[in-house]
Amino acid sequence: MDLMRELITTCVVNNIPILFEPTSVPKSLELLKSINDVIKSGTFGSSHKLVDYITPNTYELAAMANFAAEHCLAPKGVPSPAVVDRHIATNPDLDPQIVANALTLSYVSSALIIKLGAKGSVVVSPIHGDLVEVEMRHILPITVESVVNSNGAGDSLVGGILAGLAGLKGFDGPGMPFVTSTQLEGIVARAQRAAVASLQSQQSVSDEICPEMLLA
């Protein structure tokens, strides 16, 4: 955990974007424990979002949201029922608990890409110029007729997201450009192609994944 704290601090100080892929519920909580320690150290303000992107599944999302609420990484009483209802109105296919958990965790990370498996993904991203208000979009899945191998599909998705972000103008220099919700949705939608390619491959990561598949 000391290493993770050091990595977070170094990246934030040097304005290096952070994307965290949890891989399991216990590992997902290690990030939040480290964030909690960094905030307690006083190096950054409590309202400073130390991570730029988190890519949890629904189980990791629930665990992280509960930890954030219990350790005051998110303000008490958030999200309000009215805010949850507003996001459900624009995303009626989403489970209300997923919406509530996503809104809670949005106080920790600038953006979230929540993996729903066969139901697609959810993108939660900030409204430009606002540190609190977020947009939430359900990215529908790509229809898969047959699954050959499920190993590596999640890795392919996250790798596709990283490739899409790295391909944006401004990511090849210091600092991090603001990524609009439309840009992030496009990146995730294209990354889903990589996940599907791996689902239909005998290999964990399909040989068919290429820059043309991932970049706009």
pLDDT digits (tens, 9 = 90+) for 196-208: 888 888 888 888 8
Verify cis geometry, omega within 30 degrees of 0, for the bond prior to 174. Answer: no
pLDDT digits (tens, 9 = 90+) for 140-156: 988 877 788 888 888 89
Task: Return d(Cα 178, Cα 170) in angstroms, integer.
Answer: 9
User: Which pTM value belongs to this model?
Assistant: 0.89
Q: From the CA atom positions of the chain, what is the Rg in Å?
A: 17
User: What phi and psi values does residue 196 have, to the nearest 5 degrees?
Assistant: -65, -40
pLDDT digits (tens, 9 = 90+) for 5-18: 999 999 988 888 89
User: Strand, helix or coil at 211?
Assistant: helix
Q: Which residues pair with 139 in a beta bridge?
A: 121
pLDDT digits (tens, 9 = 90+) for 40-89: 888 886 656 889 999 999 999 999 999 999 998 888 888 999 999 999 99
